[in-house]
Amino acid sequence: MKYICPMHPEVVSDKPGKCPKCGMELVMKHEGQMKEPTLLRQDATEGTVDHTAHHAQMGHNFKTLFFQTLPVTLVILFLSPNIQRWFGYSLNFPGLAILLFVLGSIVALYGGRPFYSAARLEIAERNFGMMTLVSLAVLSGYTFSVAATFLFPGESLWWEISTLVSAFLFGHWMEMRAVMGTTGALTELAKLIPPTANKLLESKIIQVQTSELVKGDKVVVRPGEKVPVDGKVIEGESSVNEAMITGESKPVFKKVGDEVVGGTVNNDGALTIEITKVGAESALAQIMNLIRQAQTTKPAVQRLADRAANILTLAAIVVGSGTFFYWGFFSPQGLIFAATLAITVIVIACPHALGLAIPTVTTITTQVGAKNGILIKDIKALEIARRLEWVVFDKTGTLTRGEFGVDRIAGQNSDEVLMIAASIDTLSQHSIARAVVAEAEKKKMALEKPENFLSFPGRGVSGKVKGTAYFLGNEALMNEKKVNLESLKKEIAKEIEEGKSFIWVAKEGNSEPLGVIILSDVIREESFAATKKLHEMKIKVAMITGDNESIARSVAGKLAIDIYFAEVKPEDKVSKIKELQKDGAVVSMVGDGVNDAPALTQSNVGIAIGAGTDVAVEAGQIVLIKNNPLDIVKIVELSRKTNNKMKQNLAWAAGYNIIAIPVAAGVLYRYGVLLRPEWAALLMSASSVIVVINALLLKRVKLAA
């Protein structure tokens, strides 16, 4: 059993405890079966924790403490001698100092508990951060005030530290509310799963909890209902809206044998579905897992921010100490003034904005990517994508559909040739035969029922159409039947050179063919736009294929590909990637299968395309739901926009501290500019909220591919 911090998922422990970074209680990381949908809908799936729920709980804790201590803080303000002088009233009475001590202790010691517990853990881990600074500021002021009350005459800082604690509690409450907006992706995805399903049991339909369903169960999905789980249609036909999974707005027609994904919406017909995947196996669960995986990885810029935050913590302690000694012993303002400035320095320097600058952007980026069909497993890969110099595509199934399509028909009567061939091929299961039949169906041809169907393995088929015998197949079959192909070969010389596939059609007893059907692996329409836009982005395009030289050359020429590698064995794809990387070039590999795994791993950015409902692609760092090469352009766009947001947040967080710390130390005091601790607390919290809001603006990004 593992325990994980809801705020910092990279913190994992074998036993319960508190996070060394934020002090929050570690929660159990669930593994195995999908959780009960009470938290499937809020908590998603196995191996996850509900960030939104825990952020809400943290926000609630800060909110509760804020409202509990606020009345006490207001009383302290009302009774404070400084406040009385400023507003011209007097409430001086015996025991006032003791009362302020009691009230101030309540706020400082009770209200500040979350900060102290977290600080203890930071110190134990030697990872000094924000909570250490907050605790140091409050406890320094508290210690000074206790001493001023009981040990030596002087003005205490009760109202300053009380308002400081209240400001911190309020700021963290607001911050949690803002952060919740960046962590709701998993919750929103989980809401796609309906809480109940219509289970078919012995010809009866009963309503059950979705969590109770297992593989092999049958469920009925009526028009307008959501598909509860992944499965296969065993009865009925309907169009299904898969936009929430694939991003494709056009409904997809489903018939018997087709797969459906849990969370999609059934439109107009009733479907009976046999469940094939539940829990962690489901497409939605795997999407959610990939999103979480991305949110827990750290890009290089995050590591830079972490180092900067640690340095800032130490700098704040040094500058704060120096501020106290300078103003306390080398100026006439005295120790109270010096202590106030020192506390202000420590407060204003809290590196919370730096800590939030990158994680908030990362979280939003994964959400934007998922909405665009891009599942980011490793955020570091997305960071690299903005610097791509080469995108290498696998050909079959990536740039092409991986299935045959009819290019054209040469011969005496193309419609007649297609009708004859398609009629006979209705009885064949060969992929080329299916392409011929599909072409006839696309042209809405009336096909005849063939007779005397006969198969010639590896060569072709024969049959009778309207009582006339025909045979169709490759050149070997034509040679057997003594059909002369030379005259027609001259007409298709270009296609022969390109290495395309051919189905020759001949009438029994004729020495000349009726015609030839020319087929090839169909290039995706999106591939043309993808290569064009990548070139516009100054990114070169390469192609790797196991096909022969002529086919590769033909596809590369049509797509304006910069370089291609033909007749490449799967195990040799890695060497081609290395070849492109040899001069330090940043290379992405885009592939669709297990054969591409080594090359995906070798590349700087491995992109698995065409995952469909099976999104568990391990080799790729980024997974594309749809078979769309154009989404590669979206990845580059998203990478560049994400990097800009990260830089903006870092510039703000760092620039804020560079300006604020000297002001807090009193360098502008001679000009009448002075920060109070409570104002410093509010400014520190405001800076954190600003970086969160800036990250949230990424949600407005439209990827134009």
- Would you say 364 and 699 are in contact if contact means Cβ atoms under 8 Å apart? yes
Phi, psi of 44 (to 5 degrees): 85, -90
What is the spatial distance between Cα 286 and Cα 44, in angstroms, rounded to a whole number? Answer: 10
Q: How far is CA 600 from CA 90, 292, 388, 394, 569, in A?
A: 76, 21, 14, 10, 15
- Nearest Cα to 522, choosing from 609, 439, 447? 439
Strand-pair partners of 506: 471
What is the spatial distance between Cα 434 and Cα 453, in angstroms, rounded to a whole number? Answer: 16
Q: How far is CA 452 from CA 84, 116, 470, 505, in A?
A: 109, 88, 10, 16
- Would you say 595 and 576 are in contact if contact means Cβ atoms under 8 Å apart? no
The percent helix, strand, coil of the chain (3-state, each to 5) is 50, 20, 30
- Its sign, for the CA torsion 244, 247, 252, 255, is negative
Burial of 581 (0-12, 13-18, 19+ CB in 10 A): middle
Give the DSSP H or E segment for 271. strand 271-277
Task: Report residue 36 as tokens.
Answer: 């009960």
- Sheet of 468-473: strand order equals 400-411, 515-523, 501-507, 468-473, 460-465, 451-456
Q: Tell me, what amino acid is at 201?
A: L
Please compute, for residue 47, the number of CA atoms within 13 A of its CA located in the half-sphere on the CB side. 14
Query: Nearest-5° angle of CA 575, CA 578, CA 584?
Result: 170
What secondary structure letter does DSSP report for 182?
T
- Would you say 408 and 491 are in contact if contact means Cβ atoms under 8 Å apart? no
* Helix axes of 335-348 and 300-329: crossing angle, nearest 10 degrees: 180
- Would you say 232 and 258 are in contact if contact means Cβ atoms under 8 Å apart? yes
Query: Nearest-5° angle of CA 81, CA 83, CA 84?
Result: 60
What is the spatial distance between Cα 634 and Cα 372, in angstroms, rounded to a whole number? Answer: 8
- Sheet of 259-260: strand order equals 204-209, 196-201, 218-221, 271-277, 230-235, 259-260
Residues identified as active-site: 394
What is the spatial distance between Cα 547 and Cα 524, in angstroms, rounded to a whole number? Answer: 17
